Each structure stands twice: as structure tokens, then as C-alpha cells.
Structure 1
Amino acid sequence: MNKDFLLEIGLEEMPAKYITDSLKQLEERTANWFLEQKIEHGEILSFQSPRRLAVLVKDVAEKQADRVEEAKGPAKKIAFDETGDWSKAALGFARGQGVDPTELTFRELKGVEYIYIEKKVAGVETIQLLPEFKKIITDMAFPVNMHWGANELRYIRPIKWLIALFGETVIPFEITGVKTGNTTRGHRFLGKEVTISNPADYEMKLLEQFVVADPTKRKSAIREQIEEIEAVKGWVIPQDEALLEEVNNLVEYPTVLDGAFEEHFLTLPEEILITSMKEHQRYFPVFNAEDVLLPHFITVRNGNHEHLDMVVRGNEKVLRARLSDGQFFYDEDLKIKIDDAVQKLSHIVFHEKLGSLSEKMKRVQKVALLIADLLDWNKDEQADIIRATDIYKFDLVTNVVGEFPELQGIMGEKYALLQGEKAEVATAIREHYMPTSADGALPETELGSLIAISDKLETLVSFFCVGLIPTGSQDPFSLRRSAFGVIRIILKNGWNLPLAELLHAVVEMEKEAGIGEISAAEVYQDVQNFLKNRLRVILQDEKVRADIIDAVTSEDSNFVPLIIERAKLLNENAKSEWFRPTIEALSRVSNLAKKHVDDVEIDESLFENASEKALFDELTLMKRDFPSLSSAERLERFAELRSTIDAYFDETLVMSDDEQVRSNRLELLFELALFIKEFAEMDAINVK
């Protein structure tokens, strides 16, 4: 008879931001274990709260299914000795498999006969295997860990209780002195310990002790209560899924309530108010139908409806103190002059190996002006660049940003506008931080985009110069995000920047500034490969074939929009009838062109057939036309060129015994291959 299996890890309160992923990990490890053990089961349910991670596996079979195992032994030719008896090799194989030699059979594999054995293996009872869940628990990995007492185990938080229950039977094991049982704990203040006699009763028993163990149901309860307040009050409370997820992981029994703050605080910038509420207090801000912030907030209590008035007053008191601090900091910041703030940046270390923030800003300014030259920006636009890069980090020394780091750039824009800076410059101060995540929002203005690229590219190169390169999952300086940001901003603006040329220049600039001891050539190649890998990820997300990605990224990443465009074109046309023969023809040109040694001027008098002249004429037209052709038009020309290439190879022996003729033919192919290679490394594309 099948039984349910319940596993619960009881812990001290876990950090809210890690609970969701931790539960997912436990669920995946559980599912994988049952799969590996070949134990049949039904649905896997998962539960969590700040103090627990749990899985409930329904309808678990009482034992593994019996199975037949097959093993291959020595070849038949060495299975017998000279007398025709089983050889030592065959007997050893049988002994190792625990079978009698009479059970050995032979089977042919790739023309050779081998000894084979099939043996029936009886399934092990599930209850004997379930103690292995001790290792599943101890092997879990978390972003943060701690150890307690004299225990060697490092875990997200100390383990307080454990349930491992198969049907009504406790599965015995012990972790850090805590033995498994069938007792769980309810809400810290409203509930008590409760015995789980049957795994199926787990969720209901916890609810009786004021714990909503299903995170989906808990979140739905919060959302429904918020919507009810919206309807009663006529408010608009934006659905902030990230905040809702965090709040959901902070409570076991949610009760939503609303509070208020003094209207005079509404004179503060809205960002200070919202940040105080969301980031510091986990409150939901409230708006009216016209999207105007109101002096109210929504919060979620970890408890029931008793004494709510007292809870509301406590939350209002805490928020009032926060907003009072924000008011003071903001008023003090209004007394600071931008140029005075900039002077203070020379005393703030950006990184011990990379100098002060002021020194970084000077390097970024050089990068920005270099990019502006490549984009042909005029003097007025370059003047905006100079002013923006002179001051764009100034708000880091303001009081508000010191208290609310999340507002860096945002407050810089506001203070810059208040002090009369151009709107474009002020906006660039805010936008240079964008994107703040791999897929975050991008700058909307060209100046903001240019400063953002310059800052991120300088950061990348400078850190690589001093050997601070991301390894594995470790990326403490968010360099992957910076690289994604550079590429995504370039794509958004459609800037065909010569990225390889730009990167060379930035590396040389860093070396001239005395940054790091790693050679310029090594830094360039490392950063180039780093950017190329990010570009590959973007193409993978666009569902481009791996071989086509290899083809368009074989060379140093340069004109990024063109690389993306050509990858998509090749991918879209890969199933067309003309695609395979065209790629094969172009690849043949490229492969033979690799034999090119000496540069010579193509001599038409050395042509020996009409196909050579025809291919040369096509090359001449390509030199004339290609600079003005789009990627799609170039690919179309390549397709049209295929018949000429095929005729050329049918009628022409490229590797002629006549050295002069051979060099002439290789030069023709080499010059043609340059156009092909600029588009993509065609021989990397799989058309088999």
C-alpha cells in the first residue's frame, strides 16, 4: 500500500530573499532522489515559511520496483582457456557479478561477441532508503551560511526540529543533535507544538496553529486583503511582485493593515518616501486614481487581527522616524553645491587598486569623448559629455544617498536640476547606472546611454587590468552585468561602434594611467572574450543555432548590431533550399583561401578560363557595392554568387603547378574570402 512521505526542516528565521530558491532546491533534490532510486510516487507538494522548508510526496511506493540489470564482460575469444573451460577472466567476471558461470551468455556488439549477464535485482523497501534524506538536507547549498555551537555543519540558519515521516512511521536520523520526529511548531506567538500523525494532515494541522504553510495560498491571501482595502478606501496600490514575494516570506499568518503619515512629508521627493516605505519597512505605498502618492501605507502583520490599532500605531511611529530622517537629510543636501561635492570625491576610494572616484571619473570622461568621436558628435554634444562626466557621481557624498543607497543617480538628477544643470546632463546622471540588472531598463537618452557605456566599459577594463576577473558564479563587482549593459545599450541605440578598436584604445588608456601590471594584449583579449561570451548569451536567448553563433562570433566582437543582424538572418534562412549549397560554396572559398601566403596584385592575363574571369568580375562588383549593401542584400548576393563559385571550382585547379598562376588564384580567393569572413565564418556552419 502506498504511503505519503513528509520531510520538514525547522529553522530559526531565514532571510526572506533566500527562502523561495531554497524551497525550490529542496523540491528538486527530493524529485531527483526518487527518480534515481526508481521509487514510484505521486505529486510533490512544497511548503515554507520563515521558519521551515518542507516537502510532502504523495503516494510513495513501499519498495523499489524489481529490475533486470545487464552487464558486459570480456570478449568471447578470451572467455575460454585452451582446454575449452571457462577462463580466469570469465570466472572472475561471473564471481564479480555474483552469478554462476552457467548463467553467462554471449552477444555480438559491433562485430565482436562478448560475455553478457542478466540478473534480477529485487527492489529495496522504501523505508530502508529514506534515511538518505539526511544527506539531502546537509548537502543543500545557500548564498549565506552560519554555524552554531560545536557543530561542523554550515547552514542557512540553525536547525531546530526535523520531521521525516513515512505514513505513520518516523524515519530515524539526526543532524547537529536534532533527531527526526513527528512534531512541528506553529506560529511563534499564536501557535504551539503539534504532532503530525499522518503526512496528509500537515498543512491543516499547521493552519490550526496559525501557519499558512503553502506560500502560494499565503501570497493569495495577502493579495486579496490588499484588494479589499483598495475597494473600501478607493485607493490604488500597485502590484509590486518583488515586494509581495519578500513580504510573503516574512510572515506565517498574514494580516494586511493600513496606516498613515503626516501630509507635510509629501513635500519630500516621492522617491525618498517610496524608498523609505518599500526598501526599509517593506510597506506598500498608496496612490489615488490620478497616480498621486497619498499619505498612507499598507503593511502585513505576521499574526491575527487582535490589537491591530496598537500594531498600526507602532508601524506609523517607525515610518515617521524614517521620514523625519529623510526630511533632515534632504534639507541638508539642498545646502551642498555640486562642485563642492565633486571635490569630496577625490577622497573616496573607488577601489584600492584603481584609485579614487575622481580618478575613475577622469578616465570615464576620456572614454566618453573617444566614443563621441567615433559617433561623430558635435562640439555642443561633447560639451554636455564633459560636464556630465565632471559631476556624474557627485550625489554619492550627499546625505540622502548615504542613507538610501538605492537612490544614487536618482537624487543626483534632482539635485542637478535644482542647481540649474541642463536637463540632458541631469538625466545622464541618473541613467548612467542603467541597466541595474542583466535585463533591467535601459537609458532613454543618447547622452545617458553614452555615459552608461563609458562608465561600464572603463569599469570592465580597469578591473581586468588588475586581475579582478569573475570566476564561476563569483562576480563581486557585477562585471557580467556591466558587459551585458554595454552590449544591450549599443543594440538599443543601433550604434555600429567599432568595438574592437574602441576596446584597444580603452586598454591603452588604462595602461597609460598606470592601472595594473597585466599586459595590454592580455587584457584586451580577456575583455574581448568576456564581451563575446555575453554576446553569445544574447544570441542564445534569441534562439540562434549554436553553430551560427560560432560563425558570427569567431572574430573579435566589433560591430555588435551587425553581428546580431547577421546571426538572425543566417538562422532564419537556414532551412531554405539555397542555404546549404551556398554555405558549402562559400566555405570552400574560405578554406582554400587559408593557403594564401603572399599578397600579389591579381593579373587577369594569367586567367586560363572564363570562370576565373567571371569570379574576378564578381569580386570587382563586391568591392564596389558591398559598402552600401544591407546585411540581407549581402547574403542575397552570396546566394547569387554560388553558381559562379561552383563553375570556378569545376573548371579551375587552384593549386596549379605554375607558382605564378597558383598565387594569382589564391589571391582572388583570399580577397573574396575577406568579404565572406566579414559576414561570418561560413565553414563553422553545420549544413550536413
Structure 2
Amino acid sequence: MAKNVLFEIGLEELPARFIDDAEKQLEDKTRSWLEEERITYTGIETYSTPRRLAILIQDMDENQATIEEEAKGPAIKIAKDEDGNWTKAAIGFTKGQGKSVDDIYTKDIKGTTYIFVKKLIEGKPTKDILPEFKRIIESIQFGKNMRWGEQSMRYARPIRWLVALYDKEIIPFTLAQVQTNNETFGHRFLGDKITLHHPLDYKEKMKDSFVIVDADEREKIILDGIKQIENQHDFLVPIEQDLLEEVKNLVEYPTVFVGSFEKDFLQLPEQVLVTSMKEHQRYFPVKSNSGELLPYFVGVRNGDSHAIETVIKGNEKVLRARLSDAQFFYEEDQKQTIDFYQEKLKNVVFQEKLGTIYDKVNRVISISKKIAETITIDENEKKQIMRAAEISKFDLMTNMVSEFTELQGIMGEKYARIFGEDEAVAVAIKEHYMPTSAGGELPKTLVGSVVSVAEKLDTIVGCLGVGLKPSGSQDPYGLRRQAIGILRIANERGWEINVAELFNIAVELYESLILEHFNIELVQQELHDFVQQRVAFVLKERGIEQDIIQAITGEEIGVMSAIIQKASILSSKRNEESFKPIQEALVRVLNLASKTDEMEVNAAYFETDSERSLYEAYEKIKQSYQSWLEKDNYQEAFVQLEKLAEPIHQFFDNNMVMAEDERLKTNRLALLNRIAILLNSFANLNAIEWKQHF
């Protein structure tokens, strides 16, 4: 008879950002464990709230599956003696498997005969295995763990209760000095202690005690509540998924409400108001149907609608205080000058071995200048770049950014306009932080792009030079994200700058500064592999295969826009049926060319028309190929290489490359080597696994 099983881990309030991942881990690890233990079931449901993680396993079999297993023993020459009798090795092997020598049979494996026995592994009762579930609970990983009391166990938050039910029976085990039972707890303020008599009662019993354990159901309640408010008030509540997911994981019993604030606060920049509501209070901002911000907010209470008006007034009071502070900071900040804030940067450490933020700004100015000299821009743009680099960090010293750190760059743009800076400079201050995630929005302006790249180059090279290389999942300075940002910007802007040369701008700057703790040799060792891995990541995100990534980036990384174009061309070509004959021709050339370093081709040694035709085609196509490369048209450049396929096939059909005449052989190999060098100037085609597509 099938049974139902419930496990619930009761905790102090979990950080909202941990919950979804922990719930997924709970499900994945449970499924794997049940499979390993050969326990069948019909379904799994997981639940989560800030105070609990739970899993319901439906219709679990009462016993493990019984299986027959084949056990391999020693080779027959060891298992039998010269007289054909079973040796101690054979007898010991069968005893160890609970069998006798009468059960032995033999099988040949790679030319050697071994002895085997088959053994039946009886399934244990499931209830005897279930206490081992504590290992699943212990194995859940969180972004940050803690210890509590005298416990050696590390977990996101202290475990306060454990429910473990096998139908009506309690599954006995102890974890962190907490013994399993059938008692759980409802809402912290509205609920009671609950005794569960059966796993299938869990969801409804919790709801009766003001806990919605299904996270998707809480999300739906929130969305339905917001939609109802929109209809009542005829305004829009834009939903950001990140905020919605966070809010649903902050409450156990959601009730949606709408509050308001004074219209005078709308004079503040919209980002200030939105940040105050979203980041600090977890409210949803409200807009009119035409998209204008309105003096309202939507919040979600962790509880029912009792005395909701009092709750609304309390939230309005908290927000009013926040916005009053913001208004004060906004007005006070404008009483100073950019130079005033620039001077204060000298007192703020960027990184102890790399100096202050003021020092960093000076390095960014130098790197920006070098990039500006490398790309094609006019004098006015160059001036804008230099000014944007110079004041890119001034807003970090303002009251507003000190209080609302999420507004760095945003307030820099606002204040730069107020202080009379050029519009392009103001925009660049905000844009130089972009992208803020690996796939985030890129700077839209040239000025912002240059300063963004310069700032990221300084951070990456500086951190690598003082030994702050990312390891595993640890990347406190976001070096991987910033490197990807550099590559994406370089590609988007179409800069004809070799990626290695771009990073070398920062390396040369640091080398000239001779900083006490900076190790230039360490940078040179680390940088190529680090950047190459980020290039590979960008290409992989575009669906490029690993061998093609290696072909493009194996030696020198090159220009980013060229890398992406070449990779896309090769990736599409390898899957085209019509390209296979061309592949075959190119691969034959590459394989034979690897046998020589010879480069000198003497046309007087040609014996056949096909030799001459291939050489003439090579000379003509080489010029055309180079012409298209100069125009950055890699598609057409590769088309030229494809034209070599037919004369290559004719060459192989009519000539013996490895001829007995040494002069003929050397000349033919030299011709193929020249063609191979031309092919590999596009990419290291030898690295591509063409053969798997024939």
C-alpha cells in the first residue's frame, strides 16, 4: 500500500533571496535520493515561506525495489588452479556476495575471461530508510550560513522545528538538537501550533492558520490584489518580476493595500522616489495610464485585512520620513560644487593596495585618453570623454548617494546637469556603470562607452595585479561581469581594437605607476586566460560550439566584433549539408600541411594543370580575401576561401602529394602549406571537429 510522506524544516525568517533556490534544491536532491534508494512514488510537491521549507512525497512505495545485480570477480586464470579447481580467490569472492561457487558463470571482457555471480538485493522497508532524509536537509546550500548556540552545524538560519510524517507515523531523527514530530506552527502573529495527523492535510491546515505554503499561490494572490486596486483607482502598477518574487518570499499570508504620499515629493527625481519605494520599503510604485509617476504606492502586508487602515497609515508615515530625508539631501547636495565632492574622493579608499577612489579616477582618465586616441573620434568627443572620466565618481560623495547607494551614477547624471555640465558628460556618468549585469543594458553613447570600458579595465587589471583573482563562485569585485561588459561594448561599438591590446592599455599604465603592492608579472600571467574565458562565455551565450570557440580564441583573441562574426559563420557552416564537400577539401589540406614547414613554391616544378590551377586560384583568392577582411566583411571573406574547394579536389584527384620525387613532394606540400596558412588566418580550423559532420 502506498504511503504519503511530509518533511517540513521550520526556521527563523530566511532572507527572501535564498528561498526559491533552497526550495529547488530540496526538490532536486529529494528526487535524486529517492532514485538512488530505489523508492518509487507518483509525485512531489514543494512548499516554502520565510519560516519553512517543506516537501510532500505522494504515494511512496512501502519497500525499496528488489533488484538483481551482477558482481564481477577475478579473472578465470586466478579463479581456477592448474587442475581446474576453484581457488581461494574464487571461493572468497562468492562468499562475499552471499553465493557459492555453484553460482559462478564466466564472461569475456576485452579478451580476458572473468567470473561473475548474480545476486538478488532485497528491498528494505521504506520507513527504515526515511530517517536518512536528514542528510538532504543538511546538504541544502545557502548564499550565507550561520551557527547558533553551541551547534557545529551551519545553516542559513536556526532550525526551530522539524516535521517528518510517514502517513500518520512520525519518522524519527534529530538534527541540530531538534527532534522530529508532527507539530508545526502557523503565522507568527495570527496562527497557532498545529498538530498534523496526515501529510495530505498539510496545505489546508496551514491555510487555516494563515500560512499560504505554496509560493506560486502567494504570488497569484498578490497579482490579483494589485489588479483589483488598478481597477478601483484607474491607475497602473508596473510589475518588476524581481520585486514580485522578493515580496512573495517576505510574507506568509499576503494582503495587498494601497497608500499615498504628498504630491510635493513628486518634485524629486523619479528614480529617487522609485528607489525609496522599491529598494527600501518593497513597495510597488504607481503610474498613470500615460506613464507618469503618481503619489501612491502598493504594499503587501504579512497578515490579513484586520485594521488595514492602521497598517496603511504606518507605512505612509515610514515612506514620508524616507522621502523627507531624500528631499533634504537633494537640496543640500546642490549647495556644493563638483570640485567640492571631487576633493572628498581623496579620503575614500577604493582598495587598500590600489589607493583611493581619487587615485582610481586618475587612472580612468589616463585609460580613457588612450582609448580615445585609438578609436576614431573628433576633438569635441575627446574633451567630453576626458571630462566624464574626471567627474565620473563625484556623486559618491553626495548625501543622496551616501543614503541611497543604488542611485550612484543616476544622481551623478542629475547633478551634472544642474551644475551645468555638457549633456553628453552627464549621461556618461550614469552610463559608465553599465552593464550592471552580464546581460544588462549597454551604454548608448560613445562617451559613456569609453569611460565604462576604461573604468572596468582599471578594476580588472588592478585587482588581478594585487592577487584578487575570482575563484569558484567568489568574485567580490565583479571582475567576470566587468570583463564581459568590456567585450560586449567593444563588439557593440564595432571598435577595431584587439582585445589583448585593449587590456594592455591598463597593464602599461599600472606598469608606469610602479605601485608598491602591484605585481605586473602576476597580471601578465593571469590576464590572457581570464579574458579568454570571458570571450568563451560570450560566444557560448550565443550558442557557439566549444571547438569553434577554441578555433577562434585558441592563440590570439583578436577584435571582438570579428571574433563574433567569424564564430557565427563557422557555427552555421558546420551544420550545412552543402558545406560538407568544402569541409572535406579544407581538412585534407590542413592535415597534409601539418607535415611540413616549407613555404617556397616554385611554379616551374608543376607537372599538371590541376597544380597550376590551384596555385593560380590561391593567388587570386588571397587578394580578394584580404580585400574583404579590410572591409570587415567576414562573410564574404570566407566565401573566397570556399572557392578554393573545387581546385583543391581537382588537385587531389590528379596528383600524388607524397610523390617519390622529393622535389615534387616538397613543392606540393609547400603549396598546401600556403593555403593552410591562409585558411588558418580566418581561424584555427584544425581545432574544429569537422569529421563528426561527415
TM-score, normalization by structure 1:
0.95
The match for 2:679 is 676
C-alpha contact 2:182 2:195 (8 A) present in aligned 1:
yes
- Structure 1 stretch 172-181 or stretch 456-465: which is displaced more? 456-465
User: Is the contact between residue 39 and residue 61 of structure 1 (CA under 8 Å) also seen in structure 2?
Assistant: yes
CA gap of 1:655–1:89, structure 2 versus 1, over 3 A, is farther
Matched, 1:638 2:628: no
Q: Match of 1:512?
A: 512
Residue in 1 that maps onto 2:690: 687
One-letter amino acid matched to 2:176: T
| RMSD (Å), alpha carbons | 2.1
Partner residue of 2:419? 419
Map 1:554-573; keep pairs closer than 5 Å.
554-573=554-573
Pair 145,455 (structure 1): closer, same or farther in 2 beyond 3 Å: same
Relative distance call for 1:611 and 1:522 in structure 2 (3 A) is farther
Is 1:89 the counterpart of 2:89? The answer is yes
- One-letter identity of the residue aligned with 1:303: G
The superposition leaves residues 459-502 of structure 1 with CA deviations (integer Å, 9 ceiling, x where unpaired) of: 11221122211111111111111011112222222333221222
Partner amino acid for 1:149? G
Q: Spell out, residue by residue over 1:34-62, the C-alpha distance to the aligned partner (whole angstroms, 9 max, x if none).
A: 11111101211111111100001111111
8 A Cα contact 2:285 2:296, kept in partner: yes
Query: What is the identity, as a one-letter code, of the residue corresponding to 2:687?
Result: A
- Rounded to whole Å, the distance in 1 between the matches of 2:658 and 2:335 is 78
The percent of aligned pairs where both chains have the same amino acid is 45
Q: Once the 2 structures are TM-superposed, how far is the Cα of residue 606 of structure 1 from its aligned partner?
A: 4.9
**Which residue does the alignment assign to 2:140?**
140
Q: How does 1:461-540 map to 2 (within 5 A)?
A: 461-515=461-515, 520=520, 523-524=523-524, 526-540=526-540
For residues 657 and 403 of structure 1, do their structure 2 counterparts lie closer, same or farther at Cα, with a shift above 3 Å needed? farther
Aligned residue runs from structure 1 range 57-72, under 5 A: 57-72=57-72
Cα drift, residue 345 of structure 1:
1.6
**Secondary structure, in 3 states, of the residue corresponding to 2:643?**
helix
Superposed CA deviations along residues 380-417 of structure 1, whole A, max 9, x for unmatched, are: 21111111111111111111000011000000001111
In 2, the alpha carbon distance for the partners of 1:654 and 1:611 equals 16
CA contact (8 A) 2:218 2:253 kept: yes
Distance 1:169 1:535 in 2: 56
> Which residue number in structure 2 is paired with residue 150 of structure 1?
150
Question: Structure 2: how far apart are the matches of 1:364 and 1:645?
Answer: 52
1:182 is aligned to: 182
Tell me the CA shift for residue 362 of structure 1. Answer: 2.1
CA distance in structure 2 between the aligned counterparts of 1:679 and 1:525, rounded to whole angstroms: 26
SS at match of 1:556: coil
Mapping 1:25-174, distance limit 5 Å: 25-174=25-174
Please identify, of 95-104 and 363-372, the stretch whose mean Cα deviation from structure 2 is larger.
363-372
**Do the aligned partners of residues 203 and 634 (structure 1) sit closer, same or farther apart at CA in structure 2, a change above 3 Å counting?**
same
Secondary structure of 2:617's counterpart equals helix
Alignment check: 8 A CA contact 1:261 1:320 kept: yes
* CA deviation map 1:550-576 (0-9, x unaligned): 222222221112221122212212233
CA distance in 2, matches of 1:222, 1:77: 73
Alpha-carbon shift at residue 582 of structure 1 (Å): 2.8
Which deviates more from structure 2 when the two are superposed, residues 159-168 or residues 568-577?
568-577
- One-letter amino acid matched to 2:332: E
Counterpart amino acid of residue 618 in structure 2:
L
Is the contact between residue 624 and residue 637 of structure 2 (CA under 8 Å) also seen in structure 1?
Answer: no
Structure 1 SS opposite 2:113? strand
Tell me by how many angstroms 1:197 deviates.
0.4
Look up the equivalent residue of 1:619 and give its one-letter code: Y
Report the equivalent of 1:5.
5
Please report how far the alpha carbon of residue 429 of structure 1 lies from its aligned counterpart in structure 2 after TM superposition: 0.6
Does residue 1:316 correspond to 2:319, yes or no?
Answer: no
SS at match of 2:690: coil
CA shift at 1:27, angstroms? 1.3
Matched with 1:305 is 305
How many Å apart are 1:231 and its aligned residue? 0.4
Residue equivalent to 2:393: 393
Residues 484-533 of structure 1 show CA distances to partners (whole Å, capped at 9, x for unaligned) of 11122222223332212222333222211224777656524522322222
Aligned 8 A contact 1:583 1:685 in 2: no
Range 202-211 or range 22-31, more displaced: 22-31
Counterpart in the other structure of 2:236: 236
Deviations 1:319-351 (A, max 9, x none): 111111101111111112112212222222211
Q: Which amino acid aligns with 1:644?
A: P
Counterpart of 1:228 in 2: which secondary structure?
Answer: helix
Q: Report if the CA contact (8 A) 2:353-2:517 is conserved.
A: no
Once residues 672 and 354 of structure 2 are traced to their aligned partners in structure 1, the CA distance between those partners, rounded to angstroms, is: 48
Higher mean Cα deviation, 301-310 or 403-412? 301-310
Mapped to 2, the partners of 1:561 and 1:524 lie a distance apart of 24
Maintained 8 Å contact 2:186/2:209: yes
Greater mean alpha carbon deviation, residues 71-80 or residues 511-520: 511-520
Corresponding residue of 1:651: 655
Deviates more, 1:661-670 or 1:508-517: 661-670
- Corresponding letter in the other structure for 2:328: F
Deviations 1:420-442 (A, max 9, x none): 11111111110111111111111
Q: What does residue 614 of structure 2 align with?
A: 615
Match of 1:250 in 2: 250
Q: How does 1:155-304 map to 2 (within 5 A)?
A: 155-304=155-304
Partner SS state of residue 343, structure 1: helix
Q: Is the partner of 1:501 in helix, strand or coil?
A: helix
User: What letter is aligned with 1:203?
Assistant: K
- The alpha carbon displacement at 1:368 in A equals 2.1
Q: 1:577, 1:172 → 2: CA distance?
A: 62
CA deviation after TM superposition for structure 1 residue 258, in Å: 1.3
Structure 2 unpaired stretches of 5+ = none
Separation in 2 of the partners of 1:621 and 1:28? 60
The answer on 1:624 being equivalent to 2:623 is yes
CA contact (8 A) 1:277 1:283 kept: yes
Q: How has the CA–CA distance of structure 1 residues 82 and 666 changed in structure 2, closer, same or farther, with 3 Å as cutoff?
A: closer
Partner-residue secondary structure (3-state), 1:181:
coil
- Stretch of structure 1 that moved more, 215-224 or 532-541: 532-541
Q: Secondary structure at the match of 2:38?
A: coil
Distance 1:66 1:18 in 2: 38
> How far is the alpha carbon of 1:22 from its aligned partner?
1.1
1:586 and 2:586 are equivalent in the alignment: yes
- Contact conserved, 1:504 with 1:524, CA < 8 A, in 2? no
Q: Is the 8 A contact 1:258 1:298 kept in 2?
A: yes
Residue-by-residue CA offset, 1:617-662 (whole Å, 9 max, x unaligned): 2332244222332222222222220232344455254698758x77
User: What is the match of residue 375 of structure 1?
Assistant: 375
Cα deviation 1:563-594 (Å, max 9, x = unaligned): 21122212212233453343343344445545
CA distance in 1, matches of 2:655, 2:508: 50
Q: Is the 8 A contact 1:612 1:652 kept in 2?
A: no
Deviations 1:289-333 (A, max 9, x none): 121111111111111111112111111111111111101111111
Give SS of 1:297's match. strand
Query: After alignment, is 228-237 or 674-683 more displaced?
Result: 674-683
SS of structure 1 residue aligned to 2:59:
strand
CA displacement at 1:240 relative to structure 2: 1.5
**What is the number of equivalent residue pairs in this alignment?**
686
Q: Work out the CA distance in 1 between the residues paired with 2:589 and 2:372.
A: 38
The verdict on how the C-alpha distance between 1:332 and 1:519 changes in structure 2, with shifts beyond 3 A counting, is closer
In the TM superposition, residue 548 of structure 1 has moved relative to its aligned partner by: 1.9
Shift of 1:107: 2.1
Q: In structure 2, give the amino acid aligned to 1:615.
A: L
Q: Distance in 2 between matches of 1:244 and 1:666?
A: 66
Q: What secondary structure, in the 3-state scheme, does the structure 1 residue paired with 2:72 have?
A: strand
Task: Write the distance in 2 (CA, Å) between the matches of 1:554 and 1:163.
Answer: 54
Distance 1:187 1:205 in 2: 12
Show the counterpart of 2:444. 444
Contact 1:528 1:556 in 2 (8 A): no
Native 8 Å contact 1:184 1:196 kept in 2:
yes
Give the Cα separation in 2 of the matches to 1:352 and 1:519: 15
Distance 2:410 2:198 in 1: 54
